[in-house]
Amino acid sequence: MSERKATIASRVGLHARPASIFAAAVGELPLEVTISLETDPAEDAMDASSILSLMSLGAANGDVVVLRAEGDGADAALDSLVKILETDLDAE
């Protein structure tokens, strides 16, 4: 299983527009991706393609999240998702 950490850059955290953009990107992947706060146990990870899950995660600006995926292309996929999370999507 591949794993990456990312720091939430959007000023409002992973909420509304940033969550929508991120969930859409995850939904385009042929992999199941999970997300959790760095402080949460891995078994509490949520479906990263679900806007509802992302918003209920409560990740604020500056919080560190952990992304996990397994399968062909998981490393590249997670790298691209980290870039999205580490971009202030509210400034665009």
Catalytic residues, by residue number, are 15
Distance CA 27, CA 17 (A): 15
CA triplet 45, 11, 92: central angle to 5 degrees?
Answer: 105
Instruction: Kindly list the distances between the CA atom of residue 37 and the CA atoms of 9, 30, 47, in Å, as whole numbers in the listed order.
Output: 14, 23, 13
